[in-house]
Amino acid sequence: MDRKLGNRDKPGTACAKGDKLGTACASRSCQLNQERKKIMAETVASRILGTLDNDVLFGTPGDDVIDTLAGNAQPGEPPQKPQIEVLASGLDGPRKLSFGSDGALYVAEAGRGGPGASIPSPSQPGAVLSYGATGAITRIQDGTVERVVTGLPSLALPDGGDASGVHDIEFDAYGNAYAIVGFASNPANRDSIIQVPDFSHLIAIDNFDGGSSWTRLIDFGAYELNNNPDGQDVNTNLYDLLIEDNTVYVLDTGGNDLLSQRAFGGEITLETVFPSRTATDPITGQSVEQQSVPTAVTVGADGAFYVSELTGYPFPAGAAQIYRLAADGQPEVYADGFTNIVDLASDKSGGLYVLEYDADGILTGSDAGALIYLSPDGKTRTTITDELVSPTGLTIGADGDLYISNKGFIAGQGEVLRLSLEQNTPFSNRSPLDQATTTGATGLWIVASESA
């Protein structure tokens, strides 16, 4: 998609909406039989409670992990790992992150819910998500970690896990801050049950003084309620925010669509709907409709928009795709073979950093996420690290380092990591933001090539 979208308010390809990224994984739909519900509830519970031994995360990747980052290793030697530093810990549901004009890193915290009104959980049959004003935006600057916006709305399980709340923060060209608040349910429940209008909105952050001051700008939940572009069940969960050319773009994982509004005013425009496809239910062996669940949008070096997807139930390994949006807004598959992608970042050379929430597939019960680099030609993949735990956000710093939200669905245990790529990537000591990348001939890539 060139940056010329704006007047294509049409439904596009319909997709099923029974599975939403709203929370630690996605809704399984009310058609699930009792056996499947039990298995999936146990799976989600194990993820949220962190029953996987997080100290045992550095084992050998499975056969489905393609290509390995070798760094300075010689052929036949084990790959070197990037230096990983914990910048912040003890966060409540860290999601997407962004650098401000002041050079500080800002992190959206979805919160841990609270004792307020409740709605059914989209990821645990029989469980509920309850409201609390526990969401926040945290600033990391010069070694200081501080919650600079508090009291943002949050929905979570009783233990504080599986939260839905503020999911992303971005800054415009003037340094003004904006955030999106998710919901993971029918927006009618926001108004009739939760009665907190901030959910499903784009908001403007008024200041970063530690208080609770923001302004509601755009009600994307109302758009889903009134238009329901894919024609399936009404569900909204704003998950990724992009501000480009004075236009705000929002990915709604609940609606499986990309929405926009020019100059933060006027009508909301439907840019595209991401298509569903057929998968095999591992419980019944029958064919089921698997939705896309788009999770991140970034502008590539070619000016086009690239969008990643988590995929809906049954979340199969190797089924997640990256779309490139054509000039007419239609999504075209750019790369496939990934697993449960949760975020995406582009470098100036045209390569993409791909963050997998669960590199083995959500239903495996594993918490092991991964960061993969996709070469500018889309054909070579390099696993930078598989030492992540349910990661949920990714950004590139001016220093060329990568910053990742880790343990994103475990209340009180969330982290922000910095991955230093020096001497451990095909970029040697140079920033991935400032140089072109080649494969093979330079000898910097010691990986196997595979067509995407």
Each residue of 233-280: pLDDT tens digit?
A: 899 999 999 999 999 999 999 999 999 999 878 899 999 999 999 999
pLDDT at 266: 86
Spatial CA neighbour of 92 closest among 409, 405, 411: 411
**Exposure on the CB side of residue 388, measured as CA atoms within 13 A:** 34
Contact 312, 277 (CB under 8 A): no
pLDDT at 80: 54
Whole-number pLDDT of residue 60: 29
How far is the C-alpha of 70 from the C-alpha of 408, rounded, in Å? 27
CA distances (Å), origin 48, targets 167, 298, 388, 413 = 18, 28, 15, 11
For residues 353 and 372, give the distance between their C-alpha atoms in angstroms, rounded to a whole number.
6
Find the mean pLDDT for residues 418-430.
Answer: 56
Q: What is the mean pLDDT of the segment spanning 365-388?
A: 94
Which value, to the nearest 10 degrees, does the dihedral of the CA atoms of residues 227, 228, 233, 238 take? -120
Distance CA 380, CA 447 (A): 8
Please check the confidence at residue 437 and state whether its pLDDT lies above 70: no
**30 has a pLDDT exceeding 50:** no
Residue range 281-299, pLDDT digits in tens: 999 999 999 999 999 999 9
Instruction: Return the structure tokens found at 355.
Output: 């963050």
Residue 427 has pLDDT above 70, yes or no: no
* Average pLDDT of span 369-379: 95
pLDDT (0 to 100) of residue 265:
80
Cross-strand bridge partners of residue 181: 166
Six-digit token string for 73: 């290793």
Determine the pLDDT at residue 125: 84
Rounded Cα distance between 297 and 324, Å, is 10
Average pLDDT estimate for 76-102: 85
Average pLDDT score, the chain: 80
The yes-or-no verdict on residue 52 having pLDDT over 60 is: no
- What's the whole-number mean pLDDT along residues 341-349? 95
Write the single-letter amino acid at 401: D
For residue 114, the surrounding DSSP H or E stretch is none
Q: Is the pLDDT of residue 61 over 50?
A: no
Q: CA 342 from chain center: how many Å?
A: 3
Cis peptide before 314 (omega within 30 of 0): yes
Query: What CATH architecture is 34-420?
Result: 6 Propeller (2.120)
**Domain residue limits, the chain:** 34-420
Using CA atoms, how far apart are residues 367 and 389, in angstroms rounded to an integer? 5
